[in-house]
Structure 1
């Protein structure tokens, strides 16, 4: 079948979809995809013209701690209002922040119609643009609301859309994953995950550095600093839950027993992500988002001011962590984890908004702030003396 035939067939199937959903669309009188704009987005964003529609979004993390990126067709305005070449550039720009780590894509097909659909030529260009760099760490691709149009694309892009049958079979019968499972109420006296820094301090004889963080950092310092891709890779969900359970029950954990350096790395990220309040605190969120509007030469000073305003306990733990991440970045010739790469991994584990997930427009400032903390560790953390100080 020729490309023209496929284009015509795709148009026919889209028109069928529109007819089938006509009644539903009439009921949705407030449905205006073109106005679903990201209110947090700065007009200075390099792809503001595309990003403002909210077509591409960060949806948070999946159960393995992997970033989840969504593409929503219902937010695509009519084709004459959207430069599809710019959309492709923006999609690549967004994915570039994550492709060095494991990630998941979710494609919401509902809302694609004959008025806003890109051409098959555009889809073929997109396929060519996304080479192995973007595919090697793509751990899952979900297509939501598939139609006959998707089946047509399947015939064209079989190498792109792969489905892991074994993974699906393993997941059968499991309850749907929750965003965050709270600890028992009241938590165990030995609880380590999902409880506050103050709780951990009180239950560990006043120790400021949480045991999980102290033990994972010690292990990774001794055996992981030169491991390529440290913190990029995921680990077995079952193993991570087993290790969490051991910690929460106050039982000893020996990472040598698992033979996988990425397990303590994922445990450290999981510990940070499950804190009831982010290490950088909710109060600092808006200040951190403003870092991109600060003149480049003043950004380190601005970071320092934010850090100086943290509660003492948060400051001590953050300093301990950033000191370690700075050490990791110093070995980037071996582990390939520069301050920028580490920031992409840890940014959203250190700070998130009080409600909901961070939007894609927030990622650049959050990651930039984290990168500055790592690269300028000594300068940012030099002027405040607190118990438990650690120097590189």
Structure 2
């Protein structure tokens, strides 16, 4: 009887420990890349969430014992605590040998802690056959275990049961599960071909390399295209597939078939290009074509082109940004094998330029921009980081630094000129003996020192005008000009001396007149 409280025989525990030790040294990369078994987090009540999708057992191509060891290695760290198991029965036939053997052997080998700490078993998208089989074995299932089993028809109900956010956990359910639910509910199922790339990132985004939200279908394409036997194929992206073969692989991808054959290179290449070209517009956004046409009409420089490409990238949503960078790095990797596949950066640019700059509706003007589109593609394939850090920003900073250095040189020249003027005024100040002139020169020099940083040119003009007036006052004092001395403020003594000089001149004139009159009187 399937009883969670029943003790497991010692030989079963010994077998479990043996399988666990063996799993530590085994490579499970082929199983880890599938969606067979994942621990996706914790629910709103603190229990670990384990997601099991049996339909990927056949897709993994591994024997039941290896998948069992993979399950033991994955679950052993968490089964000591409470956990819930989500069993998605999408496209699962329990009558097949692989699925039945996997389920039976796994359950028989698991120790008691696996069964005791299991809080709930959610059967998602259960078919008529699975419900019938479960009903038949009901007498062999303990009531305690039966209370843990719940049927779930919609993922929305599952998220409510677990008290988790759909926006965070929906991406863990692969395309085949989400599509099957849409079909069961009578809705229009989503298709990888033609669906907006941002929606694919949100619903099916997975971690790939250093990118966090890449659609699973795009990961499948890139993973297979990077295989050594495929990446070195001559004229890789110029290959063509016949209609029947292409129709077959596209149908399998749309259906979500786990056993899709990606080993046919021409059909793989054509379906990859079809996936990219079925987007509503170019990958750089709806404004990519209009911006490209504007750059063509204005004969923009490389610096301006890079700046505009960066602006187009900044307008994209977060998911599309990651997809664009992921594709550009992929193309760069392809170009590194150009000696084998003839896919140089120029060749890749000619093939995929319309993919990035295509307008939403066909436009005959695009033919005028083909050369510029190819040039832009070469730029971003050679250096994808241009989109995030365009070189023009560094150029602008360099130009700003040069301008600041020029300004510093000009300021130094102005400072030197002002210092020379202050020295000249200081020398002329020493030649003067009047305290008033000393005060004027000291005020002048202090004004220069205070204003030479803010208003250099104005201070120089003021200094020259003040120096001229100062020199003129010195010359007038040396020549003894009374009229120049009259420009200063008058004192009472200066007024008296001026009146005495006038009286002396009148006395001299009267004496001369008397001398002229004396000889005439003698005659």
Instruction: Using CA pairs under 8 Å that are at least 6 residues apart, name the structure with larger relative contact order, 1 or 2.
Output: 1
- For Structure 1 versus Structure 2, the TM-score category normalised by the shorter chain is 0.3 to 0.5
| Greater Rg over alpha carbons, structure | 2
- More helix by percentage: 2
